[in-house]
Chains A and B, each alone.
Chain A
Amino acid sequence: MLGLDTKDTRLLIIVAIMVMAAPILLNPFPADSAMAQFNAGYPDLMQRFVIFGIFAIGFNILFGLTGYLSFGHAAFLGMGSYAAVWMFKLLSYNVVPAILLSVIVAAAFSVVIGYISLRRSGIYFSILTLAFAQMSYALAYSVLTPITNGETGLQVYTNDPQILMGENSPNVPHLFGIEMRGTADLELGAWTFTFGNGYYLAALMMLLSFYISLRIFRSPFGLMLRAVKSNQNRLTFTGVSPKPYTLAAFVISGMYAGLAGGLLAAMDPLTGAERMQWTASGEVVLMTILGGAGTLIGPVLGAGLIKYLENIFSKINDGILHQWFAFMPDGLEDFMVTILHPFIGKGWHLTLGLIFMAIVIFLPGGLVEGGQRIGRLFKRRKTDDASSATTKPAE
């Protein structure tokens, strides 16, 4: 189906069902229960899951397939956001032109930055991309203030032209009248499920992105990208020029980043230079590696996990910790809170660092490898059972 073999079709369908049902699946705890704080099924957070999922899927096409590690992809995400907000300012709050321009702008910049950075490989490539991204950040933060509105950040003002704005057009980002902020609630007993328009737009874009990445992985083009990673020397002596392949991968991943940036702005029509900072570039690297670089579904899982944990850990404060450990004697309670304090709230990056270290050391293939190991464990159990059940083991 859709040019995919059965296995890939099944994967795509499973992902589609999960994404579509996410508002329900991610809300397992009743709204009033103490566990409700661990729910993730509200539009604001789920939007971040899928948007950063798109970012990571694209990044994986470059890093996972060709092995070129860019440390500057947040620059394209930031450019995408700026482009989208400008479309809101100049045309109207319709997200279609905004998203289109964000992808185009990111593509244009990634051609230039990619062309220059790809003159080097390995660590020098990484440093070049990092340098470009930091330059972009610095420009956005100060020099280009007329375009980016500097420190304040770019947003839409009432006196902006918005030339395509009709009488009845909504005054918030919308898709032909469907407001991104709009939600529909479903109450089922103690549970409340919220379905957001914005989430579903972003989710559909993620499914499309995932599908395209699937096709690229299975294509001759994808095979060449993996050949670049495996042995560039052999590839050149086989009559293939690696440069255009790596540049194409770079631009595709840049466009994915631009799309993610455009969607972020479509969900919330303002943006700032901090989206381009190196920490943001580093985050997508972590997402990809955490989930499993070079795997299809890994980047999405990595993005989801990081954004979920970020949400949980940065919300926890000392007060909540005191509640958790209230059952302990006072001295011990204070001690536990003091120990855990650096890992929560603003200190959540410390936790992320530890998780990342653990994954890289114990599960170098990321979450996907973890899943495969568990799968194999079950399979072995099953075959053990099967062989012990039959008297004559089949050869």
Chain B
Amino acid sequence: MGILEVKGVNKRFGGLQALGDVNLSVAENTVHAIIGPNGAGKSTLLNVLVGKLIPDSGSVMFDGNSVLGRQPYEINQMGISRVFQTPEIFADLSVIENVMIPCFAKRDGAFRMHAIESVGNEKNIREQAEAMLDDVNMLDKRNMIASVMSRGDKRRLEMAMCLVQEPRLLLLDEPTAGMARADTNNTIDLLKEIKEKRDITMAIIEHDMHVVFSLADRITVLAQGTPLVEDTPEKIKGHPKVKEAYLGEAAH
């Protein structure tokens, strides 16, 4: 029994079957990669997991509880954080504020009227946020306004915002897209380190096979909304169906 169990999920957009009978089981404390060509339905699947989309049928269980029908903020409170394909950050706030907000969210829950305290006096929260920024090598940028940073930095910031919440399941939608080679390698190292240090399960969508094979314990190949195969990285590398559906196509 995995920490995340997706069973028979279907999602249609008009005439398009974006997800067709998706079954997926992610074991606790593993990294599960989801790969597949553009438009395969990878992001749609994540949208279902975080409550952004409601599937037409099927079930999604996280740690024994159904996530379907819950609000996105409730699902996050259950321990699921997500890094988006296009960075979702608080663009007009400073980098440190971006990281402090999830810290407050973790401490105070969905709503708490802390109207008289001062952010400046919240030493714990600030230290937590600064330690996290240090981990992603962004401490020197803490007072920058987030919107002026490079795309790669925005992604790292978003990852820091998710990681600082210490989620049990981290969903990463192409975390290294738009990053320079060096930053990609740093990200791989960071994720490896996180995986060793903490009890965390990751589901990662990635087009960069170097990233996938460096991190993944298991890989699911999605094509046209349906899982084609699921196996270990070694097996996937040589799988004829995968070569046909994905790797061949990605070799452009």
Contact = CB atoms under 8 A, between A and B. Distances in A.
Interface of A: 3-5, 215-216, 218-224, 226-227, 229-231, 233-241, 244-245, 248
B100 A223 contact: yes
A60 B117 CA distance: 20
A213 to B, nearest CB: 10
A223 B97 contact: yes
B88 interface: yes
A3 B165 contact: no
A240 B110 contact: yes
A40 B90 CA distance: 42
Contact size class for B?
A: 35 or more
B150 interface: no
Interface in B81-136: 81-82, 84, 88-93, 97, 100-102, 104-106, 108-120, 122
Contacts of B102: 238-239
B88 A231 contact: yes
B86 to A, nearest CB: 11
12 contacts: A218-B118, A218-B120, A223-B93, A224-B104, A230-B92, A235-B90, A237-B50, A237-B73, A237-B82, A238-B73, A238-B102, A239-B102
Contacts of B100: 223
Nearest to B101: A227
B71 A220 contact: no
Nearest to B72: A236
A240 B76 CA distance: 9
| Of listed B71, B106, B114, B115, residue having the most chain A CB within 10 A | B115
B161 interface: yes
Q: Which of A5, A220, A226, A234 has the most CB of B within 10 A?
A: A220
B93 A227 contact: yes
A235 B122 CA distance: 20
Contacts of B91: 230-231
B115 A239 contact: no
A239 B118 contact: no
A239 B120 CA distance: 22
Task: Report whether over half of chain B's contact residues are helix, strand or loop; otherwise say mixed.
Answer: loop
A215 B118 contact: yes
A94 B91 CA distance: 49
Contacts of A240: 73, 101, 105, 110-111
Q: Taking each of A219, A231, A237, A244, which has the highest tally of chain B beta carbons within 10 Å of its own beta carbon?
A: A237
Contacts of A239: 73, 76-77, 102, 105-106, 109-110, 165
A237 B71 contact: no
Given A218-B119, A240-B105, 13 more contacts: A218-B118, A220-B104, A220-B119, A224-B104, A226-B90, A226-B93, A236-B73, A237-B72, A238-B76, A238-B101, A239-B73, A240-B73, A240-B110
Contact of B161 (A215, A216, A238): A238
Given A230-B90, A239-B110, A241-B71, A5 B120 contact: yes
Contacts of B106: 239
Contacts, number: 105
A235 B100 CA distance: 12
A236 B76 CA distance: 8
Contact of A245 (B109, B111, B116, B118): B111
Contacts of A224: 101, 104
Nearest to B93: A230
A10 to B, nearest CB: 15
A224 B112 CA distance: 10
Contacts of B122: 220
A283 B102 CA distance: 37
B117 A219 contact: yes
A219 B110 contact: no
B77 A219 contact: no
A365 to B, nearest CB: 13
Nearest to B121: A3
Given A239-B76, A240-B110, A223 B104 contact: yes
B114 A241 contact: no
B72 A227 contact: no
B76 to A, nearest CB: 4
Contacts of B120: 5, 218
Nearest to A243: B111
Contacts of A248: 113, 115
A358 B84 CA distance: 40
B111 A244 contact: yes
B165 A238 contact: yes
Given A237-B50, A239-B106, A221 B93 contact: no
Contacts of A245: 111
A180 to B, nearest CB: 30
B115 A222 contact: yes
A51 B72 CA distance: 41
B93 A220 contact: no
A349 to B, nearest CB: 33
Contacts of A237: 50, 72-73, 76, 81-82, 84, 88
Nearest to B164: A238
Nearest to A235: B101
A236 to B, nearest CB: 4
A233 B112 CA distance: 19
Nearest to A214: B118
A223 B117 CA distance: 11
Nearest to B120: A5
Contacts of A219: 114-119
